[in-house]
Structure 1
């Protein structure tokens, strides 16, 4: 891939003209938490990690923060019973990840697998999710606003969030549908961008192996009752494998206005990705062969994507303690990518634009009882075209059934409306919450081609018909109700027990309904539903904190592609496990951070994969044991080091449980040195032992074993300057 200039003219113009000419002042160093610290709920324990290594001896019980993921209201922490795992800004700065998957390793139960470039497959209390609508299992958001509309998710959508320069990343595990609606079945990943309107600044540069380099810039101006700021990054990565590479630009712009009666915060995120993609390598243990691992069998593959989101959040408080938040937003996204993994390697072009609103009102009845209520609504127009520009290579069957020309060309107009409520009661050591959400989703589908499994020109394919089938234009609607109950009991000042029961759901995605194959003419699908039960304990220790969770989640109406290549929704799966997250300081120099899970994910329905009954089998790509351990040591106030051990258990790579990947252990090392009060230097070595491993292992009947190979030992050097 030809490297692009580090400073694209269009992005520079956007960055600097968007400041409106505001003057800047010296600011707080990167990595310091600049948020205010409201009082937390009386029955809640603080969930903040001891932050910098230099603070090992600090009193973790006194560190509090605003919660924006479990409630939209400022200063309202965990009122609706969601347990949130957070990766804070100091941790993200020390890591300086090249791919967001690296940071999500720090969350127990998250098993995200990196693909090539910025691609990935998600997993959160689940197997790695694959398939047309698999992205609907985990909701991805930035600053509380979902990155994609409910019926138009993308499996790689987190590359549209500015995680590289986030203030923190919050992860809600388990169904969060009462607050977030469809798609939050296994949880929510919410990237929180920094409030640059309070002032402060940063300039940083990363330089690493395989042509990786990144520029980061942050600056803001606080005018008192208003402020404005920018947060931007530019990434260039020519890659380890042949003919791969990433050019990526991201920018956040934020404005704040406050008065005695209300505050309005407005944010904009723009992202641009141009990626040359390296595909799977095939063959048993092929990732262990250096030449094969570095090769790229799909040099023609690429992905180009842009996204723009604009939101404005109104916060108001009233006499009596009542509070209101109201957030209208708009989205505009486009993406082209070569589907190198399909016969004929067609080009997909998709786009969506729309607008919506998120709201929440908290009514305080008395000191013990309050009510949350809200109405969310969204309107989205989506379009998709898949077309092939050259003859298919392969067997006579493939050549005949996968023709040149358009395969799909359709538009979908979607409308969503969702009222929700939560009743919250708190007294002494108890906190109870009971809530529910009703959501109605309407799709209006327009097929812009001929109907059925014929070529674009209307002629029939041999061997019974073409591979791709187009349904007639029509409408589909899905209505769901999601209840949630949670309870917590403060056993001591430092220990809290909690339990919860909830129901999550996701409506079928547009691609599952309208991108059909073979003889299927209509996809008669139901919403996927998930019932979750969870118990746990969380607490504070001298210099640390911990959370232990046990959960059991059963999913019904799971959508999958049958052996007849039909999209059907009669699958059942069961997901259960135990998780531990721990952060513990020892004196003023040592700290251990641990995030691990042991889980079982099984098929609970006698659906057939070929001729094999897979009921009771382990779901493929679902390691039972995964954990991440970091040991940090402060040599001095200025010099800090860390070793990280990442473990992934072996797992089956097919539904029949006949093929498997052996798993891997990785060791990473990091060190930072504060050269002055404003300048910090970093050095990082990833995969210290140069382990041969696969980021992702898979098996298909067409290719056999296939892999995305992991990168060999690589380094990154960084410099960060507080402005």
Structure 2
């Protein structure tokens, strides 16, 4: 195993829709943005306006103006996306869902870079988007819900696809940014064209000494691209390397502790850290067989390793994990006539993974915790995994109607090898008190899971500027390796089924030259989901109901003023009988699931050289436990973005976040062991940067 230590008219209308509805505009439109299309929903260039799914896009100019220091800042401009920021580069995701945490959390959302999954199937990580080069992205596509047969396991709540900057065609570009609390970041993108292609490189380096005590982030990311073209063949190659070295500040505890500036700034676990390395290489071959047929195949390689202190668990154990994988994505597309096309293909992957959890020190706390969470080695295992997934997708265009039908089958197989004693004993075989140790290790075994995922979508053009759409789809998520083999208490075998989600969605898309909107309503039922209750027990075979309405809109108020809105109202509830501390949670709202949240942005461009945007972010109140006994009251933040073009090739940027210096929590939750706990939000920050185009 490798490891590192391990024109106006319909075309212009749809382009405006992509730019303004599907993203968060901070200023006037650039021509490059108007030409945007998406490949995420169908793996081929597609008109976002006509697709019978909800796709949101953050364009390159918007990404540059936001200049986010964390992926949460970018995705907060997308309706339905409610990522909770942790410390450093950590986060917990939510897309048309409650914030996903604990057991069963990772894998509810599929994350990609340039169409390649960031993590191997079955080996997700909750923070995996920090391994994508978002700092130098050309755009970020967000496909909401299980709306496409082109994606299988984990794409239950949607897909986030980070498209890296095309350094070959877009010219040389660099920036330097300085900010509060020792923040520094440098970015460079450079490339060269040749007669039949070219080469390019993106580099970003981040240093952040942090607001809280003993926290810091050191991060480096590199993309390398090359391209070769002939009359009927295009070969695109890519490589991404990322390195994160982070000193992590843990939760603070106590009711509304984030309102105490002294406590909020402290780090009560200064030894917490995270180190993560990733390498991905891929080669995409696009072959035009004929005027009607094309073939695409993309082999890829991943090498990943991570070690960190699990500051959120009793005893603060350390985890080391690594995965090496190779895979192949294929697609054959044939256009039968002007109205009908079909795409068929298969995705396959082979992975070699390992995990080790070790606690060097005795556990502190109650007598129960000291007795049941032992010092020493907790888990040590290897897992070999294979995945095979054929699929088919048909599109039929008939006058104002567009129909799409898709079907995907996936087979996932694990071969698990426990390198320790089986059972819930200590490392040396001795028994823990209070009925046994917290951590349990199953014996060697093989597990396999098969899933079938149908999709159906339809859209109808009421007029040139109005389109209605609907889709019905089923998504699935095979159990992840850690859920199957990292057991707790008296569990000897993980009796888990694949998570299944049935989704219905309808929507209206509206587009004119001066305004655009997308209103979508969805209802999704999810079976067999896994969650962690406030006693840290893993609860499986859950059933939940998710429904909501989302609005993304853009309106030109005048020649110089624009208004952008991304708003969400959603209800996420437990939909089955389960007693937690004597309370039946059936019908309760899921924890970390605010009903209201969103972003409103007012942009002003008094001249061609100056652009100013005022952004309001609203987070509604939400429960922090499944019993609905504790809650966080929410918050409101104001951010300001100012861009000034000094010369044709020099841009100055100034941004201020949390302008009113609000005391708030990026993340709030509750456990019976710690009570209320929080990741405090940062106070007012100022960032200044300069960008230079060569």
- Same fold, TM exceeding 0.5? yes
Q: Could you say if the C-alpha distance between residues 510 and 440 of structure 1 is closer, same or farther in structure 2, counting changes exceeding 3 Å?
A: same
Equivalent-residue separation in structure 2 for 1:363 and 1:286 (angstroms): 60
Displacement of 1:670 in angstroms is 1.1
Change (3 A) 1:610 1:328: same
Does residue 65 of structure 2 align to residue 94 of structure 1?
A: yes
Please give the alpha-carbon distance, in whole angstroms, between the structure 2 residues aligned to 1:547 and 1:212.
36
2:548 corresponds to: 577
Residue 469 of structure 1 contacts residue 519 of structure 1 at CA under 8 Å; is this kept in 2? yes
Partner of 2:299: 328
Which of 589, 592, 596 is residue 621 of structure 1 equivalent to? 592
Secondary structure at 1:513's aligned position in 2? helix
Which of the numbers 346, 351, 371 marks the counterpart of 2:322? Answer: 351
Matched, 1:165 2:136: yes
- 8 A contact 2:50–2:467 mirrored in 1: no
Matches within 5 A, 1:230-309: 230-309=201-280
1:718 aligns with 2:671: no
Q: Does 1:602 align with 2:566?
A: no
1:586-601 to 2 correspondence within 5 Å?
586-601=557-572
| Partner Cα separation in structure 1 for residue 477 and residue 186 of structure 2 | 38
May I ask how many residue pairs the two structures share in their alignment? Answer: 684
Q: Tell me how far 1:561 sits from its aligned partner.
A: 4.4
Instruction: Note the alpha carbon deviations across 1:401-426, whole angstroms, 9 max, x for none.
Output: 21121100001111000000012110
* Structure 1 equivalent of residue 199 of structure 2: 228
Whether contact under 8 Å (1:199, 1:229) holds in the other structure is no
Structure 2 portions without partners, runs of 5+ = 1-6
The answer to whether the 8 Å contact 1:178/1:435 transfers is yes
Q: Which residue of 2 aligns with 1:156?
A: 127
Contact 1:450 1:458 in 2 (8 A): yes
Cα pair distance change 1:671/1:77, threshold 3 Å: closer
| Structure 2 counterparts to residues 545-556 of structure 1, below 5 A | 545-556=516-527
**1:45 Cα shift?**
7.5
**CA 1:110–1:421 in 2, change beyond 3 Å: closer, same or farther?**
same
Report 1:168-567 matches (<5 A). Answer: 168-176=139-147, 178-561=149-532, 567=538
What is the alpha-carbon distance in structure 2 between the residues aligned to residue 314 and residue 687 of structure 1? 46
8 Å CA contact 2:27–2:604 kept in 1: the answer is no
Aligned residue in 1 for 2:665: 694
CA contact (8 A) 1:67 1:78 kept: no
Q: CA deviation at 1:41?
A: 9.3
Deviation for aligned residue 1:195: 1.4
Q: CA deviation at 1:440?
A: 0.3
Tell me how far apart the structure 2 counterparts of residues 87 and 493 of structure 1 sit (CA, whole Å): 24
Q: Distance between the aligned counterparts of 2:154 and 2:288, measured in 1?
A: 30
Tell me the CA shift for residue 319 of structure 1.
Answer: 2.3
Distance change >3 Å, CA 43–CA 428, structure 1 → 2: farther
SS of 1:103's equivalent in the other structure is helix
8 A Cα contact 2:328 2:348, kept in partner: yes
Q: Which residue of 2 aligns with 1:26?
A: none
Residue number in structure 1 paired with 2:617: 646
Cα distance in 2 between the residues matched to 1:326 and 1:394: 54
Name the residue aligned to 2:3.
none
Structure 1 SS opposite 2:149: helix
Change (3 A) 1:545 1:194: same
Post-superposition Cα deviations, 1:28-76, rounded to whole Å, max 9, x if no partner, equal xxxxxxxxx9x999997863215976646x999x933342211222467
The answer for the alignment partner of 2:19 in structure 1 is 49
CA contact (8 A) 2:418 2:443 kept: yes
> Would you say the 8 A contact 1:45–1:494 is kept in 2?
no
TM score, norm. by length of structure 1: 0.92
199 and 558 in structure 1: CA distance in 2 versus 1, 3 angstrom threshold: closer
Contact 1:563 1:608 in 2 (8 A): no
1:580 CA displacement: 0.3
Post-superposition shift, 1:594? 0.6
In 2: Cα distance, 1:86 partner to 1:43 partner: 15
- 1:458 deviates by 1.1
The 2-side partners of 1:40 and 1:283 are apart by 56
Check whether the contact 2:41–2:148 (CA below 8 A) recurs between aligned residues.
no
Post-superposition offset of 1:196? 1.3
Q: Give, in angstroms, the shift of residue 323 of structure 1.
A: 1.9
Decide whether the 8 Å contact of 2:503 with 2:524 is kept in 1.
yes
2-structure distance, mates of 1:447, 1:233? 39
Cα pair 1:140 1:147 within 8 Å, conserved: yes
> Are the structure 2 counterparts of residues 506 and 486 from structure 1 closer, same or farther at C-alpha, using a change threshold of 3 Å?
same
Partners in 2 of 1:318 and 1:81 — Cα distance? 28
Instruction: Look up the match of 1:17.
Output: none
Q: TM-score, normalised by structure 2?
A: 0.96
Distance 2:357 2:242 in 1: 23
Instruction: Give the Cα–Cα distance (whole angstroms) in 1 for the partners of residues 209 and 13 of structure 2.
Output: 50
Q: Distance in 2 between matches of 1:261 and 1:252?
A: 26
Deviations 1:303-327 (A, max 9, x none): 0000000011111223232222211
**In the alignment, is the contact (CA less than 8 A) between 2:49 and 2:509 conserved in 1?**
no
The offset of 1:564, in angstroms, is 8.8
Please tell me whether the aligned partners of residues 13 and 512 of structure 2 are also in contact (alpha carbons under 8 angstroms): no
1:224 to partner: Cα distance: 2.8
Residue 708 of structure 1 is aligned with which of 662, 679, 689? 679
Q: Quick check: 2:283–2:299 contact (8 Å CA) kept in 1?
A: yes
Structure 2 counterparts to residues 10-49 of structure 1, below 5 A: 47-49=17-19
Q: Tell me, which stretches of 5 or more residues in structure 1 are unaligned?
A: 1-36
Please state how far the C-alpha of 1:628 moved relative to its aligned partner: 0.1
Equivalent in 630, 636, 656 of residue 627 of structure 2: 656
Q: CA deviation at 1:449?
A: 0.3
* 1:514 positional shift: 0.6
Answer with 587-596 or 152-161: which moved more: 587-596
Summarize deviations over 1:84-129 as a string: whole Å, max 9, x none. Answer: 1001111111110010100101100000000000000000000100
Cα distance in structure 1, aligned partners of 2:193 and 2:475: 41
Alignment partners' CA distance in 1, 2:266 and 2:639: 25
Which residue of 645, 663, 669 corresponds with 2:640? Answer: 669
Superposed CA deviations along residues 450-471 of structure 1, whole A, max 9, x for unmatched, are 0001111111112221111000
